[in-house]
């Protein structure tokens, strides 16, 4: 059994991403055109902005795959494997107290939450919490209830 769960970005994160990228590029262009020569500050600014935009894109959640033994949290350049038999609990989570340290808004929420979840979220209304003995993950997917039911079925078999 191989099942894929697609991940779409919510309208809020689409608008936030566009606005933040537009703001960062606008500030950079303003600084570049008002500076007569290229200096170290501009190079540091553009290097940081481009790194943040590209890095957040590459690490943002792409899809969630489930097979008989594992869950795969897939980004553009990284795949996290979670063995199904190591899962203590899996449940839906509310978005109420979602404070994270990391990228907030560019391509979603990527980072570590205050309650120590590893977050990769593109839609705050479709959250799934996966808890292991030594790690916790908070992800989103288009069909969170189906993902939970699939994993619970595999865990019980």
- Count the helix, strand and coil residues of the chain and give each as a percent rounded to the nearest 5: 40, 35, 25
Per-residue model confidence (pLDDT) at position 97: 61
Dihedral through CA 98, CA 99, CA 104, CA 105, nearest 10? Answer: 30
Per-residue pLDDT of the chain (157 residues; tens, 9 = 90+): 789 999 999 999 999 999 999 999 999 999 888 877 778 888 899 999 999 999 999 999 999 999 999 999 999 999 999 999 999 999 998 776 667 777 777 888 888 888 888 999 999 899 999 999 999 999 999 999 999 999 999 888 7
* Antiparallel, parallel or unpaired: β 118-121 and 136-140: parallel
- Please, is 31 exposed, middle or buried when counting C-beta atoms within 10 Å of its C-beta (0-12, 13-18, 19+)? middle
Question: What pLDDT, on the 0 to 100 scale, is given for residue 47?
Answer: 93
Q: What's the pLDDT score for residue 157? A: 77
The model's pLDDT over 27-45, given as tens digits with 9 standing for 90+, comes to: 999 988 887 777 888 889 9
Q: Is 63 exposed, middle or buried (0-12, 13-18, 19+ CB in 10 A)?
A: middle
If one counts the domains in the chain, the total is 1
CATH number at residue 94: 2.30.29.30
**What's the pLDDT at 96?**
60
pLDDT at 99: 73
Q: Where are the alpha helices (DSSP H) in the chain?
A: 11-34, 40-59, 144-156
| Pair 82, 98: CB distance under 8 Å | no
Q: Residue 100: its pLDDT value, please?
A: 73
Q: How far is CA 6 from CA 24, 25, 93, 112, in A?
A: 29, 30, 18, 22
Which residue range forms the structural domain that includes residue 98? Answer: 1-157
Predicted local distance difference test score (pLDDT) of residue 113: 85
């Amino acid at each position: 059994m191989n099942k894929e769960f697609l991940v779409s970005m919510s309208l809020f994160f689409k608008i936030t991403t566009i606005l933040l990228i537009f703001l960062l590029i606008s500030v950079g262009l303003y600084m570049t055109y008002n500076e007569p020569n290229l200096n170290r500050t501009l190079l540091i600014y553009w290097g940081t902005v481009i790194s943040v935009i590209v890095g957040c894109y590459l690490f943002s959640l792409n899809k969630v795959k489930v097979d008989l033994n594992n869950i795969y949290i897939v980004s553009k350049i990284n795949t996290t494997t979670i063995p199904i038999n190591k899962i203590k609990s899996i449940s839906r989570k509310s978005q109420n107290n979602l404070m994270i340290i990391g990228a907030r808004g560019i391509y979603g929420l990527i980072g570590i939450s205050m309650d120590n979840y590893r977050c990769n979220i593109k839609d705050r209304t479709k959250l799934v919490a996966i808890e292991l003995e030594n790690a916790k993950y908070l992800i989103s997917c288009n069909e969170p209830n189906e993902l939970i039911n699939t994993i619970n079925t595999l865990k019980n078999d």
